[in-house]
A and B are shown apart, each in its own frame.
Chain A
Amino acid sequence: MGIIDQLLSPPGAQQLKLGLYLIYFMLLFLLPYMGVLLVTVGLSVTLRKGYPELARSFVQLGFLRPAMLVIFGLVPLLTLAFLLAQFLFGAGLPMGDYMERITVLLAGALLLLYAYGRTEIQAVGAAGVALLGLSLFCLVSVLDLVYHPGMWQFIDGPLPWLFSWTVVAHFALYIAAGHFLAGVAITFLYFYWPEKRVEQGSAEARPLRFWGLGLTLGGAMALPPLLLWSLVLSHSSALTFLAIGAGMAAVGILFMVAVLVVGMLFRGDSRHALAVLVFGLAVMALLLVSHQQLQLAANREHAVVLAMEAQKVRSAAELEQQLLYVTAEPDPALGKKLFDERCVSCHAWDKQVVGPAYLEVLPKYVSDPEALHAFIRNPVKINPNLPVMPNQGLSEREVLSVSAYLLQELPIIQEGANE
């Protein structure tokens, strides 16, 4: 453990912005897939004893193929592990460590589910579903750390999980979305997709239609209150009109889905299977837009703070690097660079700007450069009529360099002024 953390380096502000979008892109693969997997295999395990045929059809949807498990499961998860750890670099969180633990849990869960698909042993499936549920709860907890910087310090213990209402609300929302998507997938694959299509009037069609449409309807009914709950729990500074508006649009489309599904249940057909899939995907897109808005707003300010932390780490590393080759000798060229960048915005040689004229204040330091170093390191108020100079946060070498440059220039400027 700790492998990921060792591979990271401090990110810049632009990378942080890009990181959020990449995190979103990976979640787009991972979360819907895991939700559908959890619900379909969960149902299959539950129905294994009484309805073995039905249990088999839920496993044979195609989501348990090794290629699917790797492409939609492990690859996005590992990418996310790096992206999240990189995004929260400087937050003082062992994010890479959390994600390593989740990866181990999730890989174990996927292996058990795969074994269940091959062997159909109920206990293996049950263990796989339980482990998958646990690792998804941990994943939701860790993702919530990105949404809620206020909770950064609260994970403790071997499992990276977090019990707060926000995490519970997000997990419930996620499980409801999993049911909805599983229903949509069952309806679409068994009643529309040519390869898997079952005959409308056949004996296996009835329970499949019942479960597919039932899950879709249940998910569609459960999603709106849970989405509203998760928005209510978000901090007011993270809310935006787009986040609420996308939620409202999702509710509108869910209403249409519910009406279509109830119609199909009553008539005993599945003529709108394609429409339900399209609407279902639209709902997922709107949920993502809504949550992406929340996340961007929640991180607007923290991205600046994280970038500052990363900058500190980077400067410390650079300084360490420099010290390997040079001692803290003053370098007037560096001094001139700092002077041009920082000093001249408030100081001039011959007149008071924001700070006093150098020709007035510098001569007293000629015999005592150490006092000038001390002042630059930690400025104090000297002239009560002027604002105190801000601390520039310079390194020791920079302090020595800029004072060397000032004291070296002073006699030249004085000569020019006297002429």
Chain B
Amino acid sequence: MNKFIVLALTGYFGLMLLGFAGLAGHWHATGLPPVQPIAFSHQLHLNTVGLNCTHCHQYADQGKQATVPAMSICMACHKNVKTDSPEIQKLSQAWEGGEGVEWVKVHDLPWHVHFTHKRHIKAGIECQSCHGEVQAMEQMRQVRSLEMGWCVSCHRLNAAPTDCLTCHK
């Protein structure tokens, strides 16, 4: 058999394998959910306990930012609930020591985007439309691209304004 053909086949399939390896590397670098300092589960709090989003993210329907809940909100229940869990102890130690918990931000928009949570919630957009099925997530992660094309396609569907100044002030 022609050596050249075997070489060509090896090259072709080798290239394909490199493509797979590249995909694995890229996915590992960008696609995994971030590790948080405390193993907080949205699934448990929303699905099992039955809290609403705004129970903790109090300003989601009132302002620009949904805001990470103040520690006092966590401690209101966790002064008494599950105090023997090591993860809760991390929380109560930080609370007693007057320190914050350094949560890793999952959804981050660039500075040149003017986005308000309040407006979207007032328009009847479900939290899940942009944040995914949070009530089923053990570890919070970004499931939508949050890129401009994605925003604009939804704005078009809902007949929301699409001129530049709507989002770029």
Contacts and interface: CB of A to CB of B under 8 A. Distances in A.
A391 B31 CA distance: 35
Interface string B105-142: 00000000000000000000000000011011100010
Contacts of A345: 81
Nearest to A345: B81
A47 to B, nearest CB: 27
A194 interface: no
Interface string B141-166: 10100000000000000000000000
Nearest to B157: A153
Interface string B47-72: 10111100100000000000000000
Contact of A221 (B12, B43, B47, B132): B12
Contact of A231 (B2, B5, B6, B23): B23
Contacts of A75: none
Contacts of B39: none
A354 B81 contact: yes
Contact of B73 (A254, A305, A387, A393): A387
Contacts of B30: 236
Interface stretch (A163-171, A255-263, A324-332): A255-263
A237 B141 contact: yes
Given A354-B76, A390-B55, A237 B143 contact: yes
Nearest to B137: A301
A294 interface: no
A239 B31 contact: yes
A391 B20 CA distance: 48
A241 B24 contact: yes
Contacts of A408: none
Given A232-B23, A262-B6, A304-B136, A353 B16 contact: no
Interface stretch (A94-102, A106-114, A127-135, A243-251): A243-251
Contacts of A235: 143
A225 interface: yes
Contacts of A228: 16, 19-20, 23
Interface string A384-398: 001110111100000
A300 interface: yes
Given A237-B141, A244-B27, A305-B133, A390 B76 contact: no
Contact of B16 (A224, A259, A388): A224
Interface residues of B, number: 37
A255 B13 contact: yes
B77 interface: yes
B101 interface: no
Nearest to B5: A262
A241 B20 CA distance: 11
Contacts of B24: 241, 244-245
Interface size class of A (residues with CB under 8 A): 35 or more
A241 B23 CA distance: 10
B133 A304 contact: yes
B23 A259 contact: no
Given A262-B1, A304-B47, A391-B52, A247 B13 contact: no
A353 B78 CA distance: 10
A258 B77 contact: no
B17 interface: yes
A251 B50 CA distance: 46
Given A266-B2, A354-B77, A390-B49, A248 B9 contact: no
A237 B17 CA distance: 22
Nearest to A348: B80
B31 A387 contact: no
Contact of A300 (B12, B50, B136): B136
A302 interface: yes
A411 interface: no
Given A224-B13, A232-B23, A390 B133 contact: no
A357 B98 CA distance: 29
Contacts of A263: 1
Contacts of B141: 237
A244 B50 CA distance: 36
A248 B9 CA distance: 16
21 contacts: A225-B19, A228-B20, A231-B20, A232-B23, A236-B30, A237-B132, A244-B27, A254-B13, A255-B9, A258-B9, A258-B13, A259-B9, A266-B2, A267-B1, A301-B132, A304-B136, A308-B135, A345-B81, A346-B81, A390-B49, A393-B50
Interface of A: 221, 224-225, 228, 231-232, 235-237, 239, 241, 244-245, 247-248, 251-252, 254-255, 258-259, 262-263, 266-267, 300-305, 308, 345-346, 353-354, 386-388, 390-393
Given A224-B19, A305-B135, A354-B80, 12 more contacts: A221-B12, A225-B19, A232-B23, A258-B9, A262-B5, A262-B9, A267-B1, A305-B136, A354-B76, A386-B76, A390-B51, A391-B52
Give 9 nearest A-B pairs by CB, closest first: A236-B31, A304-B136, A301-B136, A224-B16, A255-B13, A387-B76, A301-B133, A248-B20, A244-B24
